[in-house]
Amino acid sequence: MKVTKILIVDDHDITLHGLSKYIEKIENTEIIGMVKSGKEALELIQKHKPNIIFTDVDMPEMDGVELLKIIRKDFVEIKVIACTMHVQLWVIQKLLHNGINGIISKQSLKIDIEKAIEGVETGKAFYSSDIYEAVLEIMKRPDDYFSKFDELDLTKREKQVLQLISEELTTSEIADKLSLSPNTIESHRKNLFLKFGVKNVAGLIKKAMERQLIE
């Protein structure tokens, strides 16, 4: 009987251990590693050649979308399943555009993990029910909708955070100025990185200036 080798990538210990707990109960699966960044994942991918990778989307150093792009280029046989808190259309669209095999909402891990593994192993895409609704919504959008999405979909708070980042304020300073927690500011920062498709503040500022969102 074939054993499905699985790698888990997530920068939160709770998710790492939660996923591993559920996967360990599934027959003919073996967890070959648990890491907290895309860069660490690439090292294990080359060494152990997993069959399936479960990855978060928001991660330091290299996010899940960037990891997916590399896997699709260099390890095409590996199936990738994203586990995400995000059901925003722009996040789902990025994953679909880059060849994701399945997307599971973190709220339904226990219910969907085994179904997702079985599905992608047989070449079928798998989506949690709330993700599937987002996929259907994406399919209704015109072809050029997402080419403008980064520019159009910034929330009011994200625009405020973007402006303050451009003024070289630190996370703590932005949190104080907006009366929010540093964790909330970091979450907005990660969302901005994802929406603009960048890895760092320099890239964020460059693209925001190109779009005339900041001066």
**pLDDT tens column, 8-20:** 999 889 889 999 9
| 153-197 residue pLDDT tens | 678 899 899 999 999 999 999 999 999 999 999 999 988 988 887
Residue with structure tokens 């699709």? 72
CATH architecture of the domain covering 154-210: Orthogonal Bundle (1.10)
The four Cα atoms 143, 146, 149, 151 give a dihedral, to 10 degrees, of -80
User: What is the model's pLDDT at position 199?
Assistant: 84
3-class secondary structure, 19 = helix
Assess contact for 39 and 48: CB atoms under 8 A: no
3-class secondary structure, 110 = helix
Q: Where in the chain is the domain with CATH 3.40.50.2300?
A: 4-140
User: What is the model's pLDDT at position 186?
Assistant: 92
How much is the mean pLDDT over the chain? 89
| 31-71 residue pLDDT tens | 999 999 888 999 999 999 999 999 998 777 788 888 999 99
- Largest Cα separation within the chain, whole Å, is 60
- 127-160 burial string, b = 16+ CB within 10 Å, else e? bbeebeebbeebeeeeeeebeebbeeebeeeeeb
Helices (runs of H) and strands (runs of E) counted in the chain: 11, 6
Sequence-separated (6 or more) residues with CB below 8 Å from residue 39 = 61, 62
> What is the CATH code for 4-140?
3.40.50.2300
